[in-house]
Structure formats: structure tokens, C-alpha cells
């Protein structure tokens, strides 16, 4: 009787070891003096503060902030295009942008990659993207897990999950309670769909529209695949610069990451009772990917608003006196920013209106 091996069951440990050998350099490029070496350890070590007084953070009553997310069915587009080098950026973005909403500094990131079989090239592409995203977010890729699950995923499929841990001094945590009537709502431009609404976007583009990922669309100025694979924008550096600039006086009263649920649902999460946010949709340009999808699918406006970010990836609710200055700082950091609304007294929530 033949002796059954792990390889017979679909897991080749030799190839797995080849895959793992490529990852240390990708983690190493995100390292900082706060990452402590632990060769062949079972976990990653991260020092909360710098030992060097010149770079010390000096947190007062530090609070850890944690987030977890994935990339969703955008992965299906990556598989169709055959480009897996950017979805890792999306993975990082979805968590670090959430942590940022509390005013936190992202510290480190962990990833989880699940695949049906060992594929060293694919794994390297995926973790390369995660590494790139961590560099953009100024956080360390501290470790992760690669799971080979031949009976759970079909050939060609894979999944990603990400986990971010950040920190904020308790007195500097942003929770929306400081929002008051008269505050200005700033919308920070998205890079496109980001990583939400892809079940609808794929249905419109590929089923209703009959497009292939290689089709060039004049309205988009690129191929369907490239338009849908545009990485999620990471807002950590520019927003952290703003928060650091006003460290003594808290002028950013709320931050919302615009993901599934759109502007209304996500912004409403950080608005206190007695305050209403009025948003004027005429105040920012709509990226062509949204108008293309809406026209191609005949999608109602209300449906678009609740599924997609509609061109605004992050929202800051700020003191009216500092709004122009904050816009200037974000512009210098390369982020298109628009004054898209205001806070006024009224029933808690978010409504459309005019500025």
C-alpha cells in the first residue's frame, strides 16, 4: 500500500519553504528601530516608543487602536487581469485608514494570505504590495501567516486579510464628540473605487456591459481592468502631518473613512447628537469611473451613494477658523481637498443640501 504524503494532499512543503524564503526582505524594508529582532520567532516584537530621545513619541496615557479588514471581490479583478502587485496596498489601506479615524499613528501591520496551493511568485507579488502599503503608511510589516488550503479555495483563487495596530495618547483621540455647528466638512479625494462595491462594479462592467478587463474605455482613459485595480489611497502621512501641526489645539473634530455605506453612513458614525451635517455634492468633481458605472448599469443615484465613495475617500470635520489652512497643508501633501459641507444644529445625521 502506497504511503500518503502531505504533498499528495495538496501541500508541498518544499515549495512552501521557497515561498517563505522570499518574504524576510519584504518585511525588512518596512522596519524601523522600534522593531526588535527575533530571528525565527513565533511573533513579532515592536517597541511602543523610540529609545532615542531625539525621536521619542512621549505618549501620554497611550491607547492602542486596532483594525482588521480585507480587499473583497476586488481580488477577482486582480485574478482576471493577472496583476497581483497592488491589492496588498488595498489591504493595508483599508485598515490603516480606519485607525487614522481615531487620530492614531499606525504602528505595525500583519497580513493573512490564504491560497489553494503553494505559488512563490504569486505570494511574493501579494506581499510586495503589502510591503509597499506599509511604507506609504509609515508602519512596519511585522509578520503574517500564509495558509495553503487546497480543499477550501478553487484553483486560481486566494484571499487576503489584514490587521493594523496603532496608538494615540488618550487626550488626542478623535471620536467626533467635539463636532459643533459651524464646523467645516472637508472631503479628501479618493483614487477611485478603493476597495468597496466591487460585487456591483464587476456585475455592471462584465455582465451588464459585457466588457473584458483588456477593453480600453475612452471615458476612463484606460482599460477596464486598470481602472478597477487602481489602489486605495492611503491618507496616513498627510493627515498625521495635520494632526501633528495642531498638537496643542484639537482642531480636527472628526474623521470618517468612506467605505461601504458611502458618505452618509460613514460620516454619521462620528457625528454627535444635536448636530446635522449638510453635504453639497456640487462641491467636488466626480471621477469618471463612477459616472461610467452609473450610466452603464442604469444605477439609481441613491444606490450609488450607499455603495461607493463617489470620489471622497476620507472626510475631516474641522474648526471653521482652521479649514483653509488645513486644505493648504493637504494640498501641499498632494491630496485634493474640497470644502463639501458644514455642520449645523439639527437632528443627528447627514443630509444633502447646498453650501
pLDDT in tens, 207-249: 999 999 999 999 999 999 999 999 999 999 999 999 999 877 7
The 3-state DSSP composition of the chain as helix, strand, coil percent (nearest 5) reads 35, 25, 40
Residue 1 binned pLDDT confidence (cut-offs 50, 70, 90): low
Dihedral over Cα of 192, 197, 198, 200: its sign: negative
Helix (H) or strand (E) holding 36: strand 35-36
Contact between residue 75 and residue 81 where contact means Cβ atoms under 8 Å apart: no
Confidence band, pLDDT 50/70/90 cuts, at residue 10: confident
pLDDT at 3: 87
Entry pTM: 0.96
Chain position carrying cell 493577472 = 82
Q: Which CATH class is domain 184-352?
A: alpha beta
Give the whole-angstrom CA distance, residue 247 versus residue 1.
71
Give mean pLDDT, residues 313-333.
97
| Average pLDDT value for the chain | 95
Domains in the chain: boundaries = 13-172, 184-352
Q: Could you please state the CATH topology (level 3) that the domain comprising 13-172 is classified under.
A: 60s Ribosomal Protein L30; Chain: A; (3.30.1330)
C-alpha cell at 119: 505559488
Q: Do domains 13-172 and 184-352 have the same CATH topology?
A: no
The answer on pLDDT for 53 being more than 70 is yes
Give CA–CA dist 186/94, Å, rounded: 20
pLDDT, one tens digit per residue, over 113-142 is 999 999 999 999 999 999 999 999 999 999
pLDDT in tens, 85-95: 999 999 999 99
Nearest of 163, 174, 194, 173 to residue 67 by alpha carbon? 163
Question: What pLDDT, on a 0 to 100 scale, did the predictor assign at position 280?
Answer: 97
Amino acid at each position: 500500500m502506497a504511503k500518503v504524503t502531505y504533498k499528495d494532499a495538496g501541500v508541498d512543503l518544499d515549495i512552501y519553504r521557497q515561498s517563505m524564503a522570499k518574504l524576510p526582505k519584504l518585511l525588512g524594508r518596512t522596519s524601523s528601530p522600534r522593531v526588535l529582532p527575533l530571528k525565527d520567532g513565533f511573533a513579532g516584537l515592536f517597541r511602543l516608543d523610540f529609545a532615542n530621545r531625539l525621536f521619542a513619541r512621549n505618549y501620554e496615557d497611550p491607547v492602542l487602536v486596532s483594525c482588521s479588514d480585507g480587499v473583497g471581490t476586488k481580488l477577482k479583478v486582480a485574478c482576471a487581469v493577472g496583476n497581483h502587485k497592488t491589492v496588498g496596498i488595498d489591504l493595508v489601506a483599508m485598515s490603516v485608514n480606519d485607525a487614522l479615524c481615531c487620530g492614531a499613528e499606525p504602528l505595525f501591520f500583519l497580513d493573512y494570505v490564504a491560497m489553494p496551493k503553494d505559488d512563490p511568485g504569486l505570494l511574493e507579488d501579494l506581499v510586495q504590495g503589502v510591503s509597499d502599503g506599509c511604507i506609504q503608511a509609515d508602519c512596519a510589516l511585522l509578520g503574517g501567516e500564509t495558509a495553503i488550503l487546497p480543499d477550501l479555495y478553487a484553483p486560481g483563487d486566494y484571499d487576503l486579510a489584514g490587521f493594523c495596530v496603532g496608538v494615540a495618547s488618550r487626550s488626542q483621540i478623535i471620536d467626533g464628540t467635539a463636532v459643533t455647528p459651524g464646523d467645516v466638512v472637508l472631503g479628501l479625494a479618493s483614487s477611485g473605487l478603493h476597495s468597496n462595491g466591487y460585487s456591483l462594479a464587476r456585475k455592471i462592467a462584465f455582465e451588464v456591459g459585457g466588457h473584458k478587463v483588456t477593453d480600453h474605455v475612452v471615458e476612463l482613459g484606460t482599460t477596464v481592468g486598470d481602472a478597477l485595480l487602481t489602489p486605495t489611497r492611503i491618507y496616513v502621512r498627510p493627515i498625521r502631518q495635520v494632526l501633528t501641526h495642531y498638537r496643542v489645539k484639537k482642531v480636527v473634530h472628526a474623521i470618517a473613512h468612506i467605505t461601504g455605506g458611502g458618505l452618509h453612513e460613514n460620516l454619521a458614525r462620528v457625528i454627535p447628537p444635536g448636530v446635522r451635517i449638510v453635504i453639497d455634492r456640487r462641491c467636488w468633481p466626480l471621477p469618471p469611473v463612477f459616472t461610467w458605472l452609473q450610466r452603464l448599469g442604469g444605477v439609481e443615484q441613491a444606490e450609488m451613494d450607499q455603495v461607493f465613495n463617489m470620489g471622497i475617500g476620507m472626510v475631516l470635520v474641522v474648526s471653521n477658523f482652521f479649514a483653509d489652512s488645513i486644505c493648504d497643508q493637504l494640498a501641499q501633501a498632494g491630496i485634493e481637498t474640497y470644502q463639501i459641507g458644514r455642520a449645523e444644529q439639527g437632528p443627528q445625521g447627514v443630509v444633502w443640501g447646498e453650501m
